[in-house]
């Protein structure tokens, strides 16, 4: 079965049982890989009422058929489980080199079940699969863990691991990989699931060839594409994901002061990709097979924010800790980024929680006696102290580490106004008031508020995707057709997440046809564009069905009222509010979901899914 | 102090203490009467964290300065308390003759506190105020109670009382008055508060004159108005509130099948005011001083739905038990109406709960073993059995009697999709998908979903109110300016509820200027239209502030997602969804409320309110 190694590793940590399971081609064709295949496994095997932090939860690491072969930007992997943060479908994905290395070690994915009696790590290599003691690693940060494991195993090993936060079951804990290059499967608390299993790390190393059905064809298909992508995404490469910082502030897309404020241009300029390139940027970082190189490696040689060479903050991190908290210091945000990476927590949720806490403090919900110190907008020192407390579950950090939804429910009253999440996941750094489609995309995203499960807003500005019927950019405030567009983009993005390809390819001129051609050349299959997108739809729906079993329905397909109803009155989207309800109605109809948001029987039948 | 009797009766049932309190003119000028004055008292005296069914809750009966004087349709009274159904501000008002009689007995209002050791009733008459034993009345329905108390006191006494449901603390219990004429202070569970105080009834009888400042002026001001109102509201008089039934079905304003369905014309015709007039209508009923006569007295001489002469169903009741449950039989709905009136429960909430239960049954959330029998759309016999169980708190009725919000929270999962309420109060029978303004009016109504706290939708069809700046009817789907219009109408309606005037006056050609002139002539004050409306705004805001203390904020100013996001696909508003969020934003800004929906300090200052 070309493209695939054909094997899924099954590890039961309760008894140390390790099995190899054959990946059936029929299943692979229907769910591809990545979070698609993981969803199929979880839907079939995991009871929806399982406590996410119990041994019964499944933690799945999965690659896709294009990972590691000679297609651009194919070096990602997915991490999936029932989420302890949201209580529904959880998934995150990460770049770097780990996914490719796992395949080279002979596996398309790993399904971990059970809980080890004491801390362990997995060491997967040409010689076999070992469950090793990790007692000496417990408490170590992700940078240290990476180094020690490489020393103990193979200097070329690639390590995915949790930091102290995952160990402590912090609900926003991430699974980190590639050491100081600090790639993160950040969202929905997958690190806490890993911690709940006493699994500190998975180190992989291999030399196997990844089979390709038609090498010649693939070569032909990808010829010149690297150059094209690199050129088209040149700005992304040069200034990283923060290349958009000034533009998003101007357009009203940047969330500021916990989503209350409309403008913050001086701050945005200080945090911009351009400013980073002029100051702390040491070099670019490329994930495996990447031709864009949006990753930042930064270094701060001296001063208050002295920082050794390591991964720098992404746009999302600069938004979450920067504009959301009004911290306008690149050094401070880099320091916050380092803390999150070392402890292993999601920077988006962490920054959003800090912003929530600052607002709660400002409005008297949290007091100095609760926190131990004052919390103020723009106070980097306080943000650092608080982030460390969250990462360590210390003091008020224990409550906050549950995420803004649960924290607000505990604090009650007006705190509920300040908790900016959907389905329990803190919103990422794009504002539905700037791009209408984001409203319905966040509201219906299977993992909770997520811009990447739909990645719709680029179509409301500059991007066209002819295979989906979008030949010219759409108006960003118009709601007509945006429900349908969101559904279509979610199906496409579900395929990206199944193939575990980098989504920035779409900014590099790569369209659906490229993906289909690559997939066919690598696997020998004969997907049409239509079948390819139908597969995305199947995957989107199986995730939805897992969520439905967890209790999700129309009532949950919404967003904080601050986003839906609060006009900011200044900036590039000053007077705009998204008519999410109109888009949602269109979305449901297009999706073939009923009035409660549940896929109809005929739709499931059409997709070959069973209830 | 003309217009007023100048006295509030204070009754503490714990110790039987009865006091007369002077009504200060300064307070009366600021809060007028009715639910305005009640809100002032509750805001000042009641802690927001009081259990609504505890002795500490205040139960206030209040009239206004125009009640009983020679202005048309001035015979209503308000009943207010913290609501046991919603946990926030509760108010209901009722027509009939009770309010006028209370004033003639010498009081503008009654504030009841504490709980009697055993059932009692109040007997207020020229000879004084007595707390009488009501043990023999406990368990009696409202028709019997009315008769017995009149026999025991004075045949001309007017009785407001609870039925068995109020005694049993059913959360949707009403306070009924005028016996078989069955006027109801129906919404927000005021009957349960009365029951929690062991107060079965308040009987009133008096012969006092109601002082009028300038009789001549008043006579001049009202000359010819009775005729004008009667003519303009002729259809309302002829066919009752159900005169609109066929029109609302056509326009998509009638809620059908628990708000899912778009058309039901045969059913609507069978339940129409015209059909009632041809069949079961015996005569019209006029509240005190009414010139419209929308009340229905019906009689069914034989057959399955045999009914002795009594109050017939209103439009809201025909909607709640009729179209919402798909019961298309006028006799059956009249029977359901009788059950509600005798047990003393709100027909709107009761019908909405039955519709909720039928849908829950259809979708497998409620089983035959839970209910004891099958629940099906249109099954009148099942609806009757279930309504009686709710009224008696029997079997599943105990859970359902908590209202759809709490019932759905207990049942969980998809039941939450079917619970159509706002702030815990079941929606009344006008659909925000047909008139955009209703969305923001329901969402922001102080007592939970209510069309009468705003009464906005008539301005989106046929009505003009020049003093508010509306000189021609507005488009019913357009959202522009509707937030502002809703706020203005709420302020005006707050004045109607303070004056306890019948709101149908606005269909009779009465405008703001009439009200102001009447008020000035009766009291001797010199309100301008502006001051009059500012007073309404003050009242609206003091209720909001009580709610804010109860935990209400922007997060609560919303509606069920079925209403906001589900298109019905047929009927007169097939494709329309209300852009509530846009209207809410406009509404907050106009109101001078902050981003959390809390009145800003400068607004409170402007209104002379203290935090």
Residue B588 sits at the chain A interface (C-beta within 8 Å) = yes
Q: Roughly how many angstroms between the first and final C-alpha of chain B, as a whole number?
A: 29
- List Cβ<8 Å contacts ≥24 apart for A462-467: A463/A506, A463/A507, A465/A489, A465/A492, A465/A506, A465/A511, A465/A512, A466/A511, A467/A511, A467/A512, A467/A513, A467/A529, A467/A533
Q: Taking the model in full, what pTM does it have?
A: 0.94
Closest CB to B565: pick one of A417, A561, A585: A585
Query: What pLDDT is stored for residue B525 in this prediction?
Result: 98
Q: Above 90 in pLDDT, residue A598?
A: yes
How many CB pairs below 8 Å do chains A and B form together?
88
How close is the nearest chain A Cα to the Cα of B556, in Å? 9
Confidence of residue A159 (pLDDT cuts 50, 70, 90): very high
Query: What pLDDT is stored for residue A610 in this prediction?
Result: 79
Q: How many CB atoms lie within 10 A of CB A462?
A: 8
How far is residue A335's CA from residue A356's CA, in Å, rounded to a whole number?
A: 20
Residue B564 sits at the chain A interface (C-beta within 8 Å) = yes
How far is residue B459's CA from residue B475's CA, in Å, rounded to a whole number?
A: 9
How close is the nearest chain B Cα to the Cα of A583, in Å? 8
* A413–B555 C-beta distance less than 8 A: no
Q: Above 80 in pLDDT, residue A194?
A: yes
- Main-chain dihedrals φ then ψ at residue A251, nearest 5 degrees: -85, -10
Residue A416 sits at the chain B interface (C-beta within 8 Å) = yes
* B551–A412 C-beta distance less than 8 A: yes
Count of helix runs (H) and strand runs (E) in chain B: 27, 17
Query: What pLDDT is stored for residue A128 in this prediction?
Result: 96
Closest CB to B596: pick one of A414, A578, A582: A414
Q: Tokens 């590793």: give the residue.
A: A9
Residue B610, CA distances (Å) to B43, B180, B598, B600, B604 in order: 10, 43, 13, 11, 7
Write down the H helix ranges in A279-367: 315-317, 330-343, 347-362
Confidence of residue B178 (pLDDT cuts 50, 70, 90): very high
Query: What pLDDT is stored for residue B117 in this prediction?
Result: 98
Q: Above 80 in pLDDT, residue B611?
A: no
Which chain A residue has the Cα nearest residue B416? A555
Q: Which residues partner with B59 through β-bridges?
A: B112
How close is the nearest chain B Cα to the Cα of A577, in Å? 6
Q: Above 90 in pLDDT, residue B485?
A: yes
B561 CB neighbours in chain A (<8 A) are 554-555, 557-558, 581
A596 CB neighbours in chain B (<8 A) are 363, 414, 417
How close is the nearest chain A Cα to the Cα of B574, in Å? 12
The DSSP annotation for B594-611 comes to -TTS-B-HHHHHHHT---
To which H or E segment does residue A165 belong? helix A164-167
* DSSP structure class, residue B185: E
How far is residue B490's CA from residue A381's CA, in Å, rounded to a whole number?
A: 47
Q: Above 80 in pLDDT, residue B159?
A: yes
State the ipTM, two decimals.
Answer: 0.91
> What is the rounded average pLDDT of the residues A230-252?
97
Of A332, A328, A273, the closest CA to residue A307 belongs to A332
pLDDT in tens, B420-474: 999 999 999 999 999 999 999 999 999 999 999 999 999 999 899 999 999 999 9
Helix axis angle, B580-591 to B436-444, nearest 10°: 60
Query: What pLDDT is stored for residue A93 in this prediction?
Result: 97
How far is residue A348's CA from residue A432's CA, in Å, rounded to a whole number?
A: 16
Q: Roughly how many angstroms between the first and final C-alpha of chain A, as a whole number?
A: 29
Query: What pLDDT is stored for residue A115 in this prediction?
Result: 98
Environment class of B138 (CB within 10 Å of its CB; exposed 0-12, middle 13-18, buried 19+): middle
B562 CB neighbours in chain A (<8 A) are 554, 595
User: How high does pLDDT run on average in chain B?
Assistant: 97
∠ CA B514-B516-B522 to the nearest 5 degrees? 100
How far is residue A465's CA from residue A479's CA, in Å, rounded to a whole number?
A: 18
Q: Above 90 in pLDDT, residue A466?
A: yes
In b/e form, how buried is each residue of A401-430, taking b as 16+ CB within 10 angstroms? bbbbbbbbeebebbbbbbbbbbbbbbbbbb
Residue A395, CA distances (Å) to A170, A234, A392, B81, B224 in order: 13, 45, 9, 41, 73
How far is residue B378's CA from residue B396's CA, in Å, rounded to a whole number?
A: 19
How far is residue A121's CA from residue B422's CA, in Å, rounded to a whole number?
A: 51
pLDDT in tens, B12-28: 999 999 999 999 999 99
The secondary structure of B470-537, three-state, reads ECCCCCCCCCCCHHHHHHHHHHHHHHHHHHCCCHHHHHHCCCHHHHHHHHHHHHCCCCCHHHHHHHHH
In b/e form, how buried is each residue of A52-62, taking b as 16+ CB within 10 angstroms? bbebbbbbbbb
The DSSP annotation for B454-465 comes to T--GGGGTT--B
Write down the H helix ranges in B344-451: 347-362, 368-371, 380-392, 396-400, 404-411, 415-418, 436-444
Task: For chain B, give the percent of residues with pLDDT over 90.
Answer: 99
Query: What pLDDT is stored for residue B111 in this prediction?
Result: 98
Q: How many CB atoms lie within 10 A of CB A251?
A: 18
* B582–A581 C-beta distance less than 8 A: no
pLDDT in tens, A357-386: 999 999 999 999 999 999 999 999 999 999
* DSSP structure class, residue A97: S
Query: What pLDDT is stored for residue B610 in this prediction?
Result: 79
A588 CB neighbours in chain B (<8 A) are 565
B578 CB neighbours in chain A (<8 A) are 581
* B414–A553 C-beta distance less than 8 A: yes
The secondary structure of B279-332, three-state, reads CCEEEEECCCCCCCCCEEEEEECCCCCCEEEEECCCHHHHHHHHHCCCCCCHHH
Residue A264, CA distances (Å) to A261, A328, A378, B476, B555 in order: 8, 9, 12, 38, 26
Confidence of residue B523 (pLDDT cuts 50, 70, 90): very high
Residue A90, CA distances (Å) to A167, A345, A544 in order: 18, 15, 11
> What is the rounded average pLDDT of the residues A435-444?
98
pLDDT in tens, B492-513: 999 999 999 999 999 999 999 9
Of A611, A554, A580, A551, the closest CA to residue B418 belongs to A554
Percent of residues in chain A assigned helix, strand, coil, to nearest 5:
45, 15, 40
B580 CB neighbours in chain A (<8 A) are 565, 581
Q: Tokens 């079917």: give the residue.
A: B418
* A417–B596 C-beta distance less than 8 A: yes
- For chain A, the C-alpha Rg in angstroms (whole number) is 22
Residue B412 sits at the chain A interface (C-beta within 8 Å) = yes
Please enumerate in sequence order all residues whose Cβ is within 8 A of that of B525, keeping only pairs 6 or more positions apart, or say none: B29, B519
How close is the nearest chain A Cα to the Cα of B555, in Å? 6
Write down the H helix ranges in A372-528: 380-392, 396-400, 404-411, 415-418, 436-444, 482-499, 512-523
Of A39, A46, A4, the closest CA to residue A23 belongs to A4
- Main-chain dihedrals φ then ψ at residue B215, nearest 5 degrees: -55, -45
User: How high does pLDDT run on average in chain A?
Assistant: 97
Closest CB to B584: pick one of A414, A565, A597: A565
* B557–A413 C-beta distance less than 8 A: no
Domains of chain B, first to last: 7-204 (3.60.9.10), 240-426 (1.10.569.10), 436-606 (1.10.599.10)
How close is the nearest chain A Cα to the Cα of B392, in Å? 31
How far is residue B326's CA from residue B279's CA, in Å, rounded to a whole number?
A: 20
∠ CA B356-B359-B363 to the nearest 5 degrees? 140
Q: β-strand A17-22 against B281-285: which pairing, if any?
A: unpaired
How far is residue A417's CA from residue A358's CA, in Å, rounded to a whole number?
A: 13
The secondary structure of A212-249, three-state, reads CCCHHHHHHHHCCHHHHHHHHCHHHHHHCHHHHHHHHH
Confidence of residue B583 (pLDDT cuts 50, 70, 90): very high
* A561–B558 C-beta distance less than 8 A: yes
pLDDT in tens, A575-584: 999 999 999 9
Task: For chain A, give the percent of residues with pLDDT over 90.
Answer: 99
Q: Above 80 in pLDDT, residue A35?
A: yes
Q: Above 80 in pLDDT, residue B160?
A: yes
> What is the rounded average pLDDT of the residues B314-323?
98
Residue A177 sits at the chain B interface (C-beta within 8 Å) = no
Of A160, A133, A173, A145, the closest CA to residue A53 belongs to A173
Environment class of B191 (CB within 10 Å of its CB; exposed 0-12, middle 13-18, buried 19+): buried
In this structure, the dihedral spanned by the alpha carbons of residues A536, A539, A544 and A550, taken in order and rounded to 10 degrees, is -160
Q: Above 80 in pLDDT, residue A611?
A: no
To which H or E segment does residue A547 belong? helix A529-549
How far is residue A527's CA from residue A534's CA, in Å, rounded to a whole number?
A: 10
- Pick from A257, A477, A561 the residue to mutate for testing the B interface (most B CBs within 10 Å): A561
């Amino acid at each position: 079965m070309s493209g695939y190694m054909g094997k899924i590793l099954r590890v039961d940590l309760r008894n140390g049982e390790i099995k190899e399971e054959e990946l059936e081609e029929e299943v692979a064709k229907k769910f591809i890989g990545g979070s698609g295949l993981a969803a199929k496994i979880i839907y079939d095997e995991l009871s929806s009422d399982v406590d996410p932090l119990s041994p019964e939860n499944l933690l799945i690491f999965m690659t896709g058929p294009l990972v590691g072969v000679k297609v651009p930007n194919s070096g990602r992997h997915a991490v999936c489980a029932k989420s302890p943060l949201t209580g529904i479908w959880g998934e995150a994905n990460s770049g770097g080199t780990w996914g490719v290395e796992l395949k080279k070690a002979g596996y398309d994915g790993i399904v971990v079940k059970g809980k080890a009696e004491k801390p362990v790590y997995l060491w997967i290599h040409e010689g076999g699969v070992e469950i090793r003691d990790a007692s000496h690693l417990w408490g170590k940060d992700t940078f240290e863990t990476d180094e020690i494991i490489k020393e103990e195993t193979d200097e070329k090993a690639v390590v995915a691991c949790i930091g102290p936060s995952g160990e402590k079951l912090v609900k926003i804990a991430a699974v980190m990989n590639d050491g100081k290059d600090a790639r993160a499967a950040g969202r929905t608390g997958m690190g806490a699931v890993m911690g709940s299993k006493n699994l500190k790390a998975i180190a992989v190393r291999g030399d196997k060839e990844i089979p390709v059905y038609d090498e010649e064809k693939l070569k032909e298909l990808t010829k010149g594409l690297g150059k094209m992508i690199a050129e088209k995404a040149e700005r992304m490469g040069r200034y990283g994901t923060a290349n958009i910082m000034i533009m998003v502030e101007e357009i009203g897309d940047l969330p500021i002061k916990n989503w209350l404020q409309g403008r913050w241009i001086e701050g945005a300029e200080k945090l911009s990709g351009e400013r980073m390139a002029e100051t702390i940027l040491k070099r670019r970082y490329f994930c495996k097979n990447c031709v864009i190189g949006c990753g930042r490696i930064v270094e701060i040689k001296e001063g208050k924010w002295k920082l050794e060479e390591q991964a720098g903050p992404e746009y999302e991190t600069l938004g979450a800790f920067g504009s959301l908290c009004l911290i306008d210091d690149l050094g401070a945000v880099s320091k916050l980024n380092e803390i999150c990476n070392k402890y292993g927590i999601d920077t988006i949720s962490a920054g959003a929680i800090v912003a929530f806490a600052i607002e709660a403090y400002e409005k008297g919900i949290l007091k100095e006696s609760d926190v131990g110190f004052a919390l103020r907008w723009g106070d980097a020192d306080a943000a650092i102290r608080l982030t460390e407390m969250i990462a360590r579950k210390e003091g008020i950090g224990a409550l906050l580490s549950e995420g803004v939804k649960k924290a607000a429910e505990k604090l009650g009253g007006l705190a509920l106004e300040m908790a900016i999440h959907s389905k329990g996941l803190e919103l990422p750094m794009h504002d539905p008031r700037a791009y209408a489609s984001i409203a319905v995309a966040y509201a219906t995203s299977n993992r909770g508020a997520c811009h990447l499960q739909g990645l719709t807003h680029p179509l409301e500005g500059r991007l066209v995707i002819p295979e989906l019927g979008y030949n010219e950019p759409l108006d960003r405030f118009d709601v007509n057709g945006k429900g349908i567009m969101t559904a279509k983009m979610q199906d496409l993005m579900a395929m990206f997440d199944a193939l575990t390809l980098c989504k920035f390819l779409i900014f590099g001129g790569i369209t659906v046809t490229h993906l289909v051609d690559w997939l066919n050349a690598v696997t020998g299959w004969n997907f049409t564009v239509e079948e390819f997108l139908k597969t995305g739809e199947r995957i989107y729906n199986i995730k939805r069905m897992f969520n439905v079993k967890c209790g999700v329905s129309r009532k949950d397909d919404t967003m904080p009222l601050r986003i839906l109803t609060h006009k900011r009155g200044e900036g590039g989207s000053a007077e705009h509010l998204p008519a999410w309800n109109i888009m949602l109605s269109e979305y449901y109809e297009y999706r073939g979901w009923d009035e409660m948001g549940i896929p109809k029987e005929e739709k499931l039948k059409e997709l070959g899914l069973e209830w």
